[in-house]
Chains A and B, each alone.
Chain A
Amino acid sequence: MTNSIREIGDAACILAIGTNTTQAHPVLALQIIRAVKRGAKLIVANPREIPLVKFATIWLRQHPGTDVPLVMGMIRVILDEDLADEEFIRERCENLDALKESLRQFDLDTVERITGVPRQQIVEAARLYATSKPASILYTMGITQHSHGTDNVMSLGNLAMVTGNVGRPSSGVNPLRGQNNVQGACDMGALPNVFTGYQRVDDAQARKKFEDAWGIALSPKPGLTVTETFHHALDGHIKAMYIVGENPVLTEASAHHVEEALKKLEFVVVQDIFMSETARLAHVVLPAASFAEKDGSFTNTERRVQRVRQVIPPVGESRPDWLIMCQVAQKMGAAGFDYESPSDIMKEIASLTPSYGGITLERLEQTSLQWPCPAPDHPGTPVMHVGKFSRGKGRFAALNYIPSAELPDAEYPLILTTGRSLYQYHSGTMTRKVRGLNKMSGQEKVEINPADAARFGLKDGDAVKVISRRGKVSARVKVTQSSPPGVVFMTFHFAESPTNVLTSPALDPVAKTPEFKVAAVRVEKEESPVGAGAR
Chain B
Amino acid sequence: MTTLTKSASVLMSVGGRAVEAKPGQTILDAARQAGIYIPALCAHPGLEPSGTCNLCVVEVAGRPEPVKACLTEATDGMVINIDSPSLREARLAALKKILAQHPNACLTCWRKVHCKPFDICLRNVRVTERCVTCPKNQRCELQKAADYIGLEGETVPGYKYRGIILEKDSPFFDRDYNLCIDCGLCMAVCSQVRGAAALERVPRGGYKLPGPKNGTLIESGCQSCGACVDVCPVGALTDSGSKWEGVAERSVKTICPYCGVGCQLILELKGDRIIRTRPDPEGPANRGQACVKGRYGIAEFVHSPERLTKPLVRKGEEFVETTWDEALALIAEKLGQYKGDQFAMVTSAKCTNEDNYVMQKFARVVMQTNNVDHCARL
Contacts and interface: CB of A to CB of B under 8 A. Distances in A.
Interface of A: 5-6, 22, 24-30, 33-34, 36-37, 55, 144-145, 176-193, 195-196, 201, 210, 214, 216, 218-219, 221-227, 229, 232-233, 237-246, 248, 251-252, 266-267, 269, 272-275, 279, 282-288, 290-302, 304-313, 315-322, 325-329, 331-332, 334, 336-337, 339, 342, 345-346, 348-349, 368, 422-423, 425, 430-431, 433-437, 439-440, 511-514, 516
Name A's interface SS. mixed
A36 B241 CA distance: 34
Contacts of A272: 308
9 contacts: A6-B284, A180-B260, A184-B349, A267-B335, A274-B304, A292-B302, A308-B254, A309-B253, A334-B366
A433 B304 contact: yes
A183 B335 contact: no
Contacts of B311: 284-287, 317
A179 B344 CA distance: 21
Nearest to A201: B370
B297 A431 contact: yes
B302 A329 contact: no
B196 to A, nearest CB: 9
B17 interface: no
B173 to A, nearest CB: 9
B302 A179 contact: no
Contact of B353 (A273, A299, A430, A514): A299
Interface in B312-370: 312-314, 319, 324, 327-332, 334-338, 341-366, 368-370
A437 B172 CA distance: 9
Contacts of B66: none
Contacts of B341: 219, 221, 223, 237-238
Given A240-B335, A326-B358, A439-B171, A219 B370 contact: yes
B192 A37 contact: yes
Nearest to B350: A245
Contacts of A233: 344
Given A267-B338, A300-B285, A331-B329, A27 B263 contact: yes
Contact of A287 (B293, B308, B359): B308
A297 B354 contact: yes
Contact of B375 (A242, A246, A302, A348): A246
A430 B297 contact: yes
B104 interface: no
Nearest to B251: A311
A318 B307 CA distance: 9
Contact of B314 (A30, A37, A283): A283
Nearest to B357: A188
B297 A437 contact: yes
B166 interface: no
Contact of B355 (A237, A325, A436): A325
Interface stretch (B53-61, B148-156, B175-183, B264-272): B264-272
Interface of B: 170-172, 192-195, 223-225, 241, 252-264, 267, 269, 272-274, 284-287, 289-294, 296-298, 300-304, 306-314, 319, 324, 327-332, 334-338, 341-366, 368-378
A282 B170 CA distance: 39
A32 B345 CA distance: 38
B369 A290 contact: no
A290 B257 contact: yes
B259 A180 contact: yes
A29 to B, nearest CB: 8
Contacts, number: 452
A193 B339 CA distance: 18
Given A184-B356, A422-B223, A431 B262 contact: no
Contact of A328 (B260, B300, B331, B364): B331
B344 A190 contact: no
B339 to A, nearest CB: 9
A240 B366 CA distance: 14
Nearest to B313: A284
A304 B163 CA distance: 49
Which residue among A29, A179, A233 has the maximum number of chain B CB atoms within 10 Å of its CB? A179
A226 B257 contact: no
A302 B255 contact: no
Contacts of A345: 354, 357-358
Nearest to B279: A27
A312 B286 CA distance: 23
Nearest to A269: B331
A346 B355 CA distance: 10
Nearest to A345: B354
B143 to A, nearest CB: 28
Given A287-B309, A320-B355, A185 B348 contact: yes
Contacts of A232: 344
Contacts of A300: 255, 260-262, 285
A340 B37 CA distance: 44
B328 A342 contact: no
Contacts of A316: 307-310
Given A245-B350, A285-B311, A331-B331, A514 B378 contact: yes
A182 B254 contact: no
B375 A224 contact: no
B284 A368 contact: yes
A313 B309 CA distance: 12
B307 to A, nearest CB: 5
B255 A423 contact: no
B352 A294 contact: yes
B350 A179 contact: yes
Given A225-B377, A436-B296, A332 B309 contact: no
B342 A238 contact: yes
A27 B289 contact: yes
A33 B195 contact: yes
B260 A301 contact: yes
B355 A30 contact: no
A177 B377 CA distance: 10
A219 B306 contact: no
A301 B307 contact: no
Contacts of A439: 171
B194 A30 contact: yes
Given A218-B368, A336-B365, 10 more contacts: A6-B284, A229-B371, A239-B343, A240-B338, A241-B344, A245-B351, A285-B312, A322-B355, A431-B293, A436-B297
Contacts of A301: 260-262
A144 B370 contact: no
Contact of B357 (A201, A229, A269, A349): A349
Given A239-B343, A244-B347, A320-B355, A27 B314 contact: no
**Residue picked from A183, A189, A511, most chain B C-beta under 10 Å:** A189
Contact of B254 (A193, A214, A229, A311): A311
A178 B260 contact: yes
